[in-house]
Amino acid sequence: MAYQALYRVWRSQRFEDVVGQRAITQTLKNAIIQNKTSHAYLFTGPRGTGKTSAAKIFAKAINCPNSQDGEPCNECEMCLSITEGRQEDVIEIDAASNNGVEEIRFIRDRANYAPTQATYKVYIIDEVHMLSTGAFNALLKTLEEPKEQVIFILATTEPHKIPLTIISRTQRFDFKRIGISDIANHLAHILKEIQLPYEEAALQVIARAAEGGMRDALSILDQAISYSEGTITLENAMQVTGSLTNEMMDSYLQHCFQGEPEAALENLAEILAEGKEARRFLEDMLLHCRDLLMYQQAPKLLAEKVGYLTETFKELAEKIPADLLYEWIRLLNETQNEVRFTNNANIYLEVATVKLATQGPKQKLAVVSNNQGTESIPARTNDSQELQALKQEVQQLQQAIQQLQSGQPQQNQAAPVKAEKQNTGYVGPRVPKEQVFQVLQEATKDHLQQVRQVWMDLLQTLSVTQRAMLKATEPLASGPNRLLIAFDYGIVCQKVMNDAPLILALQNNLSKMIPDYAPTILCIAKDAWPEVRQAYVAFAKQQPQEIAELENEELTEETQTVNVVTEAQKIFGDLVTVVDD
Ligand SMILES: [Zn+2]
């Protein structure tokens, strides 16, 4: 007999066998026992969580003459014909391939006839969200006039794409992602049945990679089996899933904890170069951080659950404070969301890496005291370090306010606004303030508009990698000789600034799109922008003569302010909001 995929062979045939959806299967069984079934059901949930299996079991249980406790017998002709897909009263439709009105009309017409062999005619429409609007309307008509012996089971991974009019006519069940231990237990059960030896840790790795879907878990297990030589080992599982080895993750986190973003970035690059996928990396890293937290609370429990803990892992768990782990988890979660809608996941990963590596209390202090310049505040260890950091920030702000009030331009105008590269690691790109001021002085709204108009087209002229770097950017100000670009992320900004070929390509292509326009290109991180802009407005106030020459003669205090605003609006257009005191 030809080899059959595990997920086909081991498809659940009874509600009892559906893993991880106890609440749903119990409710369905009760409905069958009490004869209180609905005319239409909506099964929603991620792929591989048992929706269509449950639908078929339901079709059997409701039609099986030997049904007991709401379960099908799986032995009678009715059960077998449904399992084998040859029962004409149980109709399975894949909406992904039949999304037309005609098909649904056909169903509607056929639904008018009573079942010939079964007690209930059951229509199972999989991926129902794929139906066309017309087909949905036809389906709605059918659901509006329910027939006694006809039941619809609609299954979907994307319930938000289904019209509310349909949803409101169904009884809805949300299938949950299946828990890792539930999946691992099921895999263990199967392997015992088919008498294949395995390492416990291998199953954990597979279960994790399946992301809550049993079908995926079984496909991965299939691959691991073909990879293995007799025993399914952790190594097989790692190879098949592309999971990061623990050492790699440990070393990455170690660098993050020690505030060594560059080393962590190198680590990340190696991991990605090995062909690891960004989303998988994030998922693995999240689980790893959670494991560290769990180990701190219940080491034995975790050891039992995971089955493999390295020495480095244990060391890390002892060293890294829980608060920091929570913060890392929050950051990783955030990145997971960002990555969902982008093709440039790696950039977000790099940004996340820098953030992770600068989250430690030690790093925060280092950044602040660097900004402090010559004046350094000794960190008292008994003071909460966060408090220290806050105190310093307040002090900095006070200084800045004083400087603004006294009308003195900040002494460290040429100094970086955020902080620059230092030994402890990367904290953000250097902002060349005086150069930014030059752009702002010569900037006009017309130039900015011109650049903005061609910006998207300009990005299209670049290579894929180059375009990726400039994805989260916008032109901020531009004049005859200079152009200022704002970046969402400091680290990307830094990279672009140091990427001479990229800057050159930008200039060249820009000059092709706007004839004779080849400005010097300057980059700034959006985080740094408000401060620089404010400094510039203050700076402009200091130069009433210049503005006077441009605008008019005599300037009262009031008109001066007006002029600064006009000046700012001239440059930034709608980016400037005037707030009245
Ligand atoms: Zn039966």
121 backbone dihedrals φ, ψ, rounded to 5°? -85, 130
Residue 421 CA from chain centroid, whole number: 28
CATH of domain 180-241: 1.10.8.60
0.95 surpassed by pTM: no
Whole-number Å distance between alpha carbons of 493 and 389: 25
The tens place of each residue's pLDDT in the chain, 581 residues long, gives 567 888 888 999 999 999 999 999 999 999 999 999 999 999 999 889 999 999 999 999 999 999 999 999 999 999 999 999 999 999 998 887 777 777 788 787 887 788 889 999 999 999 999 888 888 888 898 899 888 899 999 999 889 889 999 999 999 999 998 988 899 999 999 999 999 999 998 998 899 888 789 998 998 999 899 888 889 998 888 878 766 666 778 889 999 999 888 889 888 888 887 667 788 888 888 888 988 998 898 888 777 666 556 677 888 999 999 999 999 999 999 998 888 777 778 888 988 998 898 876 554 444 433 444 333 333 333 445 545 555 565 555 555 545 554 544 444 433 333 333 333 333 345 667 778 888 888 888 888 998 988 888 888 777 766 777 787 788 988 988 889 998 887 778 887 887 888 888 888 888 888 887 888 888 888 888 888 888 888 887 776 554 444 444 333 444 444 455 555 555 554 444 444 44
If you measure from the C-alpha of residue 34 to the centroid of ligand 1, how many angstroms do you get, rounded to a whole number? 18
3-state secondary structure of 342: coil
Ligand 1: distance of its center to the CA of 77 in Å?
Answer: 7
Superfamily for the 433-542 domain: DnaA, N-terminal domain (3.30.300.180)
74: alpha, beta or left? (left if phi > 0; alpha if psi -120 to 50):
left
The pLDDT, as a whole number, for residue 347 is: 85
Gap from CA of 53 to ligand 1 centroid (Å)? 16
Q: 63 C-alpha vs ligand 1 centroid, how far in Å?
A: 8
CB count in 10 Å sphere of residue 174: 14
Tell me the C-alpha distance between 407 and 560, whole Å: 14
Ligand 1 center–CA 119 separation, angstroms: 12
Fold of 246-368: Zinc Finger, Delta Prime; domain 3 (1.20.272)
| Phi, psi values for residue 459, rounded to 5° | -60, -35
Phi, psi (degrees; rounded to nearest 5) at 564: -60, -40
Rounded to 5 degrees, what are φ and ψ at 122? -120, 125
Q: What was the pLDDT predicted at 568?
A: 53
User: Ligand 1 centre from 68 Cα, in Å?
Assistant: 9
Q: Is 519 helix (H, G, I), strand (E, B) or coil?
A: coil
Q: What's domain 6-174's architecture?
A: 3-Layer(aba) Sandwich (3.40)
Predicted local distance difference test score (pLDDT) of residue 372: 41
pLDDT at res. 469 = 77
How many Å apart are CA 302 and CA 298, to the nearest integer? 6
CA of 106 to the centre of ligand 1 (A): 28
For residue 86, the CA-to-ligand 1 centroid distance in Å is 14
Centre of ligand 1 to C-alpha 7, Å, is: 22
Q: How many CA atoms lie within 13 A of 564 on its CB side?
A: 19
Q: Tell how far the Cα of 457 is from the centroid of ligand 1, in angstroms.
A: 64
Question: 500 C-alpha vs ligand 1 centroid, how far in Å?
Answer: 72
Ligand 1 center–CA 98 separation, angstroms: 30
pLDDT of residue 417: 36
Q: List the chain domain ranges.
A: 6-174, 180-241, 246-368, 387-417, 433-542, 545-575
Buried b / exposed e over 472-509, threshold 16 CB at 10 Å, is: bbebbbbbeebbbbbbebbbbbbbbbebeebbebbbeb
